Every structure is written in structure tokens, then in C-alpha cells.
Chains A and B, each alone.
Chain A
């Protein structure tokens, strides 16, 4: 397993894009871990005398607010820094939730086949036939707005991708000799599924998990923007954007900056995902 990761890293290193992605992810991870040290102010602190101050590099800016302040006088830079915490943990939660659910359902569907398989696949068809944001909106409409409901909704939407990928891989692996051998040795179905087959489905799973990160972050930010995700005063980037909308003419920096953060984070995971796919593909071909 260790060799797998080392090999993967060297394969990945050949791809410039994925290295850029990894670099940005590293930085945002660093920023979100050390947010309390890095941010100049408390993200919730209100400076009543400093409403909508432009960034310090523009005319009218103040040095203590590098990226300026928002409509009620909070430091935008600190809010963006703390926002990276929210976005990364949102992405992480979405991936973990959908990965676990999707993997279990996918392995079961592929392994057992028959009626269970058909039921699970119908369910995935159902979710996939609705546009992702719309389905998430429906869930949030039922559960009520809020960040945890948004995470749940976005995870549900992401599950079918994992089910499909895992199921296809399981269908391919389950008739191979090592599985037959384990069966002859008397391994239980549970053991066959999760100890024998699943470790061999890692490659596509890693790629999908990485891409799931970007989808999760983007969809949660979109829900936040629509007022259905994180609620004010949380410094979530999508929510910040939606608050800033009314000030687009007078204070454009309030709109520009959170969006750049979303774009960079989403882009970095997409770059890494693309690179991983290229790096893992020859391995998949070798297997066949």
C-alpha cells in the first residue's frame, strides 16, 4: 500500500497541473489550520467606524484592513481566512459521507446483483435524473436552511457517482481468481466484499473522491449564495457573496474576493483530480 502511494506521487509529479492543484490545496489547508494566527482580526468583529473600506492597495484603503471591510465593518481578509476552514471541512464532510454510503451501496449492488442491485440502481437513476442543485434545494426546503442540512443535501446528490463507479469495478473484480480463491478458503461474503474486492477498487475511488471535493464545495457555496446553506454571520464564501450582491456597484471588492477563493479551491481539486485520473489510468489498463 505504501508503495502504491509513492508510485502515485511520482506519476503525479509528471503532471504540472496536478502539482499546481496540490500546491493550492496545501496552501489552503495551511491557511485553514492556522486561521487564528494568520487572520489579523476576529472574523465576527465589527468595526462600526470602518464600513465598506476598500482594500489597502486601492485608494481610500486602510492598512489594517488588507482586503477591506464589508457592509457592517468586518475585516474581509479574516473572514476569507476563516471561510477556507468552512469550505474545506464542507468538502471533506461531503466526500466522507457520500464516499462511505456510495461505497457500501455500490459494493453490495455489484456483489449480490439481482433484486438488490436493481433497487439500488433505480435509486441512483432517480437521483441522477434531477439536476443536482435542484435536488439539494428540495432537501434543504424540507429540512430547513443551514450548513449541516446543506452538507447532507449535497452529499445525497453526490452518492450516485460513487455507487456507479464502485459497482462497475466490483462487477469486474468479483469473478477474478483471487476472489474465487478466498471464497474457497471459506471467506464470508462480508470479507470478500470489503477485504478482498474493495482494496482493488481504490484507483477510481481516489479520483472520484478528489472530484467530489470540488463538487461539494461548489454546491454548498451555491446553496449558501441562494440563502439555503450557511447562514449569516458565518463567514462562508457563498453566503458572503450573497450578502455582497447589493453593494456590487459601490464596493466591488466585496463581490470579487470570495468568488476568487471559491474558484481557486474548486479549480485546485479539479486539477488534482484530472492529474490523478491520468496517473491512475495506466494502472487500470495494466490490470485488465
Chain B
């Protein structure tokens, strides 16, 4: 309990710091913030002062920050200049797309990465091991914004197997239930109207972005699994198990893998941040309507409230994911408690 409290207590300065960065984001942009918001055409002086007042920019800076914090806690992140919608509702609209892409990418990289890593560890110093380690280093060095384009070039342009962009064919109308198209397309009303076609359309749209986004995590997971397995396989209790005459399969899958999984799970959690980073690039390439594309677009349209709010939400999500993982780790691993 003490541990949990301490963890949450440690969070406060980080959260405050991030709020502070986001708060100053709008105020640090060169030029007058009001003029930045209204654009190049400018305003007459009366309206200017009025706007300054509604934005709260005439107050002392500390008071402005206090008001900003209060608003954030209430979930009020301002409104987008471009669409006039609240930043929060824009976020909620786009988040499921990123969540779906990120989850599928993580599942893809785990399902392939862990077995490859185990196999490489068992065949240490074999050709396969060297090949896999070289391939994973290449994967790790991959500029994914290029990798995505190459995937499009091969699978969409040359082979014509997958669509180039978007989440689903525009033909299909999918009522929102969870926001995840892989689930929503399996709703009864959709199945009755169109059958499985919308589902397969969603899948085919998802394949390439998920591969592009999953490549770096895949490389990291494969390497991590290998080294973690090698470490565990060298432990005394594995030797004991061997001496007892236990079958190799049982040793590997029951004894070794279980213990090797702990660092792998931690790595998975740390990859969450790199998934978000990757999503920004992947979504831009595949025109995937998620939060990454949203942020990039808001920068080119100078939609500062969206940048501010978006960065704030994303970083809070990451921080809370990390702390949840810490807690799960703490519960799973009794050694941590001492």
C-alpha cells in the first residue's frame, strides 16, 4: 500500500510539469497569442481586447496557470480553432482508431516476436540465431515512415492486395459501438445488411499499418526474449530440472519461459510509448484517422488548443499506463516487495 501511495505521490510533479509545458506551449509561440489564434488578418482593437479577456490572457500568469489547471481537471481542454469542436470530443472520436491500430500492432509483434526469440535462444550461435539477430537490428533501425511507404508500394501498388489508406471502404456504414472497427463490423445490424464484407474490409485496411507500426516492437521483443531466455536457461534450477530428467519441452515452456516472461512484459509496457510515436508517423502515411494524424494536422493548421490538449492527454495516458504496469509488476513479483 505504501508503495502504491509513494508511486502516486511521485506522479504529481511529473503531471504538473507536463501541464506546465502544455500551458506555456501557447504562450511561448513567437508573436501575440491572440493574433496567432485569429490568423493573419488581424482584429480591430476592441475585439482584440475582448478576445484577450475571454482567453484570460489579461490575468497574471500564475492565475492563468491555476485557471488552466482547474479546467484540465474538469476535463475542459478548450476548443479547436479549425473545427470549433471541443478538443476532448475530437480526441474521443479519434482515439479508438489509434487504440485498434496500436493493439493489433502489439499483438502482431508479440505473437511473432516471442516464439522467434525463444527459438533463437535455444539454437544459440546457429545460422538462424545470427540471421534473426541481424534482421532484428535492421528492424530496429527501420525508419518506419519509409517502411510504411515500401509496404504500400509492394502490397498495394504492385500486388494490389490491400487498400492504400483509411480504415474501411467508404461503401460501408458502421454504427459506432466500441469504435474498434474489428468489433463494430461484427454487430448484428452490420452482419445482417452486408455480411462479413465490412469486417474483411476493415481487416485489409489494418494489415499494412499494423505491420509498419509493429516492426520496431517486433525487433525489440525478439531480442529481449532471446536474451531473457538465455539468462534463465543458464540458471541453476534449469540444470536441476535437466538433472532430474525432465523433458526438454517441459523445461523450456514451463520452467524457463515463465521466468523469462517477467522482463518481456516490462518491455512490452515500455513499448507503449514507442507505439504512440510510431502511430504519429504510421497514421500520417496510411491516412489513418487516429490521434497521431490529428496532432500532425493540427500543427500544420496551427491549431494550438488541439496541440496543447492532445499532448496533455497522450502524456497522461502514457504516464498512467506506466504506473499501472509498475503496479502489476509489483503484484506479480513478490521479490519487489522487500
- Which residues from chain A sit less than 8 Å from chain B, CB to CB? 17, 122-123, 125-126, 129-134, 137-138, 140-142, 144, 214, 218, 221-222, 225-228, 238, 241, 245, 248-249, 252, 255-256, 258-259, 262-263, 266-267, 270-271, 274
The reply to whether B137 and A271 form a contact with Cβ atoms under 8 Å apart is yes
Q: Which residues of B contact A137 (CB under 8 A)?
A: 280, 295-296, 299
Partner of A227, one of B21, B285, B300: B300
- Please tell me if the beta carbons of A245 and B149 are within 8 angstroms of each other in the complex: yes
With A17-B137, A263-B143 known, 7 other A-B pairs at CB within 8 A are: A131-B314, A132-B277, A134-B314, A137-B299, A259-B150, A267-B138, A271-B137
User: When chains A and B are docked, how far (Å) is the Cα of A263 from the Cα of B149?
Assistant: 14
B17 interface contact, C-beta 8 A: yes
Cβ of B234 under 8 Å from chain A: no
Which residues from chain A contact B161 at a C-beta distance below 8 Å?
Answer: none
Question: Which residue of A has the minimal Cβ distance to B295?
Answer: A137
Residue pair A263, B14 in contact (C-beta under 8 Å): no
Q: How many of chain B's residues have a CB under 8 angstroms from any CB in A?
A: 44
Q: Does B318 contact A (CB under 8 A)?
A: yes
Q: How far is the CB of B309 from chain A (nearest CB, A)?
A: 12
Which B275-307 residues have a C-beta within 8 angstroms of A? 276-277, 280-281, 284-285, 295-296, 299-300, 304, 307
Number of CB contacts from chain A to chain B under 8 A: 122
Question: Bound state CA distance, A248 and B158, in angstroms?
Answer: 11
- A270 near B277 with CB under 8 A, answer no
> B331 within 8 Å of A by Cβ?
no
- Quick check: B315 and A129 within 8 Å, CB to CB? yes
* B7 vs chain A, min Cβ distance (A): 12
When distances are taken between beta carbons in the complex, the residues of chain B under 8 Å from A249 are 157
Min Cβ gap A112→B in Å is: 19
* B residues near A255, Cβ cutoff 8 Å: 146, 149-150, 153
B142 part of interface (Cβ distance < 8 Å): yes
Contact, CB under 8 Å: B311 / A226: no
Q: A144 contacts which chain B residues (CB < 8 A)?
A: 30
Closest to B138 in A: A267
User: In the complex, are the beta carbons of B142 and A134 less than 8 A apart?
Assistant: no
25 A–B contacts from the bound complex (CB under 8 Å): A122-B17, A126-B17, A126-B21, A129-B319, A130-B18, A130-B315, A131-B314, A134-B277, A137-B299, A141-B299, A141-B304, A142-B25, A142-B29, A222-B143, A225-B143, A225-B145, A226-B145, A245-B149, A255-B149, A259-B143, A259-B146, A259-B149, A262-B146, A263-B142, A263-B146
Contact status A228-B14, CB under 8 Å: no
Shortest distance between the CB of B265 and any CB in chain A (Å): 19
The interface centre, meaning the residue of A133, A271, A274 with most chain B CB atoms within 10 A of its CB, is A133
The answer to whether A141 touches B150 (Cβ under 8 A) is no
What residues of B have a CB within 8 angstroms of the CB of A262 in the complex? 143, 146
Q: Give CA–CA (A247, B284) in the complex, Å.
A: 16
**Neighbouring B residues of A267 by C-beta, 8 Å:** 137-138, 141
Min CB–CB distance B111 → chain A (angstroms) = 24
Which of A122, A222, A228 neighbours the largest number of chain B CB atoms within 10 Å of its CB? Answer: A222
